[in-house]
């Protein structure tokens, strides 16, 4: 009996290995004929500044307020080959604890970061599908890394990744590749983080929440968040390189995790940890301990 079970497990393992190798060979063979997008158009949303602006400059060197109007403009100016890729980069960022936020704060964040990308995707997918091109989405590590002050932003980016994951499965039948860019702390490189003072936050709170959180904690939270942002990457080179790879490589990645080498192992492991451990991570933070001590204090 033991021998038979061992034999079966061995056969299954060998079969799985053979299938894996076969799949890799087929993948490589299929990718040899994939074009890099040269001579095609690439639509980048949100390229007035930050990642999108720099990507547009790089692609230009290599040779939307209203989505319907944007589509008409693109169609009127398309090169002969067509539209190769859409880089959904338009987005906003803000920070606040959930109780400091209003439903309008959440609605505005989700409408731009999530529904904006969905609207753009639905309009331009037929053009990209026609040439078996690329759809790229700028997400964030906060799509899976839950922490203080990023509730609304995390909601919008987690939704965006769910949309992109579903789209990737659907588009595989058409030969369209879908990639997700997951930048870490690039606030200093892009100026995407909304600057506000502790007074801005304090004045939005009602009396009950002022009693709960108190002004000293608001001051501390604002100082901590700003210092954290200022400790991020000085430039966007890592993100731009990932976007270029997603648009032009014969074998683009499904996801590009863009953090420091020191943080990479942690963020790769984090999504697979049980909730009890991921929540416990924050208890190790000095800021989290100070927060607990300062709540309700006068």
Answer whether residue 294 is part of any domain: no
* 54 has pLDDT over 90: no
Per the residue annotation, which of 153, 217, 256, 288 is the catalytic one?
A: 153
Tell me the pLDDT tens digit for each residue of 183-197. Answer: 988 877 676 667 788
Annotated catalytic residue 153: yes
Given this model, what pLDDT does residue 93 score? Answer: 85
Answer whether residue 168 is part of any domain: yes
* 246 has pLDDT over 80: yes
DSSP code per residue over 211-228: HHHHHHHHHHHHHHHHHH
Answer whether residue 88 is part of any domain: yes
pLDDT confidence bin for 291, thresholds 50/70/90: confident
Q: Nearest to residue 249, comparing CAs of 170, 177, 165?
A: 177
Give dist(CA 97, CA 64) in Å, integer.
30
Q: What is the mean pLDDT of the chain?
A: 80
* 11 has pLDDT over 60: no
pLDDT confidence bin for 265, thresholds 50/70/90: very high
Given this model, what pLDDT does residue 71 score? Answer: 67
Q: Nearest to residue 87, comparing CAs of 39, 55, 126?
A: 55
Given this model, what pLDDT does residue 143 score? Answer: 93
> Six-digit token pair at 2?
């033991």
Cβ 256 vs Cβ 182: under 8 Å: yes
Supply the pTM of this predicted model: 0.78
Cβ 46 vs Cβ 90: under 8 Å: yes
Answer whether residue 250 is part of any domain: yes
Tell me the pLDDT tens digit for each residue of 73-110. Answer: 777 777 777 889 999 988 888 889 999 999 999 999 99
Answer whether residue 32 is part of any domain: no
Answer whether residue 240 is part of any domain: yes
Exposed / middle / buried, residue 158 (Cβ in 10 Å: 0-12, 13-18, 19+): middle
Query: Long-range contact list for 250-255, CB < 8 A, 24+ apart?
Result: 250/31, 250/32, 250/34, 250/36, 251/27, 251/31, 251/34, 252/134, 252/177, 252/179, 253/179, 254/168, 254/178, 254/179, 254/180, 255/179, 255/180, 255/182
Given this model, what pLDDT does residue 153 score? Answer: 93
Our count of domains for the chain comes to 1
> Six-digit token pair at 173?
């039948």
Q: Nearest to residue 45, comparing CAs of 100, 5, 92, 91?
A: 91
If one counts every other C-beta atom within 10 angstroms of the C-beta of residue 110, the result is 18
Answer whether residue 78 is part of any domain: yes
Answer whether residue 167 is part of any domain: yes
Percent of the chain with pLDDT over 70: 76
The CATH code of the domain that includes 58 is 3.40.50.720
Find the domain containing 238 and state its range.
Answer: 39-195+234-273
* 254 has pLDDT over 60: yes
Given this model, what pLDDT does residue 65 score? Answer: 53
């Amino acid at each position: 009996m033991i021998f038979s079970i061992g034999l079966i497990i061995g056969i299954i393992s060998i079969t799985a290995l053979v299938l894996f190798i076969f799949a890799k060979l087929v993948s490589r063979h299929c990718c040899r004929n994939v074009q890099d997008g040269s001579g095609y158009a690439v639509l980048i949303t949100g390229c007035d500044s930050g990642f999108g602006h720099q990507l547009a400059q790089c692609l230009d060197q290599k040779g939307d307020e209203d989505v319907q109007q944007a589509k008409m403009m693109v169609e009127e100016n398309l090169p002969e080959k067509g539209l190769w890729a859409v880089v959904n980069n338009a987005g906003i960022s803000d920070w606040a604890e959930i109780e400091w936020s209003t439903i309008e704060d959440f609605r505005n964040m989700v409408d731009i970061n999530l529904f904006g990308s969905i609207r753009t995707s639905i309009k331009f997918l037929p053009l990209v599908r026609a040439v078996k091109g690329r759809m790229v989405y700028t997400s964030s590590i906060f799509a899976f890394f839950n922490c203080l002050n990023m509730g609304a932003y995390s909601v919008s980016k987690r939704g965006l990744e769910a949309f992109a994951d579903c789209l990737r499965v659907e588009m595989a039948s058409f030969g369209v590749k879908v990639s997700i860019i997951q930048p870490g702390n690039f606030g200093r490189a892009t100026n995407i983080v909304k600057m506000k003072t502790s007074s801005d936050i304090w004045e939005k709170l009602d009396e009950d929440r002022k009693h709960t959180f108190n002004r000293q904690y608001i001051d501390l939270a604002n100082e901590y968040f700003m210092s954290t942002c200022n400790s991020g990457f000085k430039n966007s080179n890592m993100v731009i390189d990932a976007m270029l790879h997603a648009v032009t490589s014969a074998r683009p990645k499904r996801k590009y995790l863009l953090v420091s080498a020191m943080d990479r192992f942690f963020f790769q492991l984090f999504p697979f940890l049980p909730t009890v451990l991921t929540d416990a991570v924050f208890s190790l933070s000095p800021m989290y301990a100070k927060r607990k001590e300062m709540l309700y204090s006068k």
